[in-house]
Amino acid sequence: MSSKISGYEAPVGKIFSDDFVFTIPSYQRPYSWEKEQAGELLDDLLLALGVGAAPIEDLNPYFLGSIVLIKGDTPPAEVVDGQQRLTTLVILLAALRELAPKDEADELTCYIYEKAKKLSNIPDRFRLTVRSRDADFFREFIQKETGFKQLKELTAVLKDPQMNMRHNALHFLTKLEKVPEDVRLRLAGFIVSRCFLIVVTTPDFAAAYRIFSILNDRGMNLSHADILKAEIIGQVPQKLEDQYTSEWENCEEELGLESFRDLFGHIRMILVKKKLAGTVLQEVRDNVKPAEKPMEFIDKVLVPLADAYEEILNASYKSTKKADEINRVLGWLHRVDNADWQPPAIHFMAENHNDPDALLRFLKDLERLAAGLMIYRASINERIGRYGLLIDAINNGSDLYSAESPLQLSDEEREWIRKALNGSIYEVRQTRLFILLRLDEAVAAAGATYDRSVVTIEHVLPQTPEAGSTWLTWWPDDVKREESVHRLGNLALLDHRKKEGIFFPLKFEK
């Protein structure tokens, strides 16, 4: 097998030839082009064809985009990017075949599938095989010559991808019936010989996916969540497929696409308990292995952790008691400048959702730990290692509140934090606002509330006093003044609202 990445242009006639046997892998999204996109493609092709009788080979070529394939030196090719275009082109060629005279129809069939050779015991070989759940439908109603007649009369309830295929096929047929036969035949010749795709091939998925991501940086890339969905749901018994697909998509909708993708990284951390070494996709496959027990994974891992993650993300825990306190602590956790604390929080929340006392106690200590690690600027490796130990301690039923627990700050860490707080905290941009806001709440009897969502930090002793200022009389020593100006006692939180040049200080509820 070739180990090289290659790219070249090829006309549609070459694409749908013996050089390629395309398959759409199960991790791909379903066929989703609707009549609008399909109709736009046909309109563009007719416009590019133009009017007149100029030889097809003299017409300007038409670029159909790119396809990314996992392919070696033999015809089999797994489509990583381009399935919507390839599928729609097959539907269009089939519609043109339906309206063509016999000789031209037979020629168009050759681009759709290679007919069986009975004497050689070779079955029909289709140029494109779509996702397994739609493959039989696509063959019977689109690729086979008798398909369109059955398609017109079809009354069965179809899934969305099959419905899109049917709608687009009949839409093409309706539009092409209004086009003169000679123009239809010219269009078929134009598509086969003057419409080009850029073909990018690579022998492995990792390289193909990188290329796909680069080529689609303005669109919605296929994520590890999409791939895992196909792999996991694909292993669920067919009679339960709709149920578990619904459960999966409910989680996705509840969290939103971006947070749902992040959830798999957190699941990996909860179960693997160490820093990511490769891709989330590969580590979930290798270490979590959700496709081996797909229903158990969805029921016992995905759904409860997604529910916990949603409440953590939105600080929306609900309970008959202590919900407000728990959500307030979650709000402070979200002010920490990293999300490394989230896996242990998700894990503990899922395990103790109905015990608000345990939740509040854990989250308070977790906030102290996360804030402490942030204030003394622990490295990412230190943080991940620490939270991995904490997840282990949760799993083992260890006493999380003993001095030795990874949930608790050590004496050495407390000293580092005190040293950081006693220094020039203003100069550490990542922590200064958190420290002042957290202190604000600590000194307020019932917690601080602010008049505005935007607050600023102002120096009492100015950073650069003007010449002749009283500040210079009070602080004549430049070195001492410089040492003091950025420290905690010289900083004040102010409401960003400004009136006649005066900042209004924050107000407290008493």
Q: What is the pLDDT of residues 186-231, one digit of tens each?
A: 999 999 999 999 999 988 766 776 666 555 544 445 678 888 887 8
Residue with tokens 């309706």: 174
Task: Tell me the pTM.
Answer: 0.64
Do residue 357 and residue 416 come from a single domain? yes
Q: Minimal CA–CA distance to 345: which of 377, 315, 381?
A: 315
| More confident: 267 or 223 | 267
Which pLDDT score, from 0 to 100, does residue 29 have? 75
Q: Is residue 373 in a domain?
A: yes
Do residue 125 and residue 255 come from a single domain? no
Do residue 237 and residue 96 come from a single domain? no
Which pLDDT score, from 0 to 100, does residue 231 have? 82
Do residue 209 and residue 229 come from a single domain? no
Do residue 284 and residue 327 come from a single domain? yes
* Residue after which a domain boundary falls, among 176, 193, 215: 215
Q: Is residue 53 in a domain?
A: yes
Which pLDDT score, from 0 to 100, does residue 1 have? 46
Do residue 278 and residue 399 come from a single domain? yes
Q: Which of 131-135, 147-151, 293-297, 399-403 has the lowest mean pLDDT?
A: 131-135
Do residue 147 and residue 282 come from a single domain? no
Q: Is the pLDDT of residue 498 over 90?
A: no
Which pLDDT score, from 0 to 100, does residue 497 have? 54
- Contact partners, residue 111, CB within 8 Å, separation at least 6: 12, 13, 16, 17, 93, 127, 192
Which pLDDT score, from 0 to 100, does residue 288 have? 94
Do residue 17 and residue 158 come from a single domain? yes
Burial 480-491 (b: 16+ CB within 10 A, else e): ebeeebbbeebb
Q: What is the pLDDT of residues 269-319, one digit of tens each?
A: 999 998 888 889 889 999 999 999 999 999 999 999 999 999 999 999 999
Q: Is residue 1 in a domain?
A: no
* Residue after which a domain boundary falls, among 170, 192, 215: 215
Domain that holds residue 164: 6-215
Q: Is the pLDDT of residue 508 over 90?
A: no
Q: Which of 126-140, 175-189, 224-238 has the lowest mean pLDDT?
A: 224-238
Q: Is residue 130 in a domain?
A: yes
* Residue after which a domain boundary falls, among 215, 241, 274: 215
Q: Is residue 242 in a domain?
A: yes
| More confident: 39 or 206 | 39
Q: Is residue 104 in a domain?
A: yes
Mean pLDDT of 6-33: 90
Mean pLDDT of 236-250: 87
Strand partners, 195: 62
Do residue 43 and residue 19 come from a single domain? yes
Domain total of the chain: 3
Do residue 450 and residue 479 come from a single domain? yes
Q: Is residue 510 in a domain?
A: no
Burial 319-337 (b: 16+ CB within 10 A, else e): beebbebbbbbbebbeebe
Helix (H), strand (E) counts: the chain: 23, 11
* C-alpha–C-alpha distance, residues 147 and 139, integer Å: 8
Q: What is the pLDDT of residues 420-444, one digit of tens each?
A: 999 988 888 889 989 988 988 888 7
* C-alpha–C-alpha distance, residues 420 and 375, integer Å: 7
Do residue 125 and residue 244 come from a single domain? no
Do residue 149 and residue 17 come from a single domain? yes
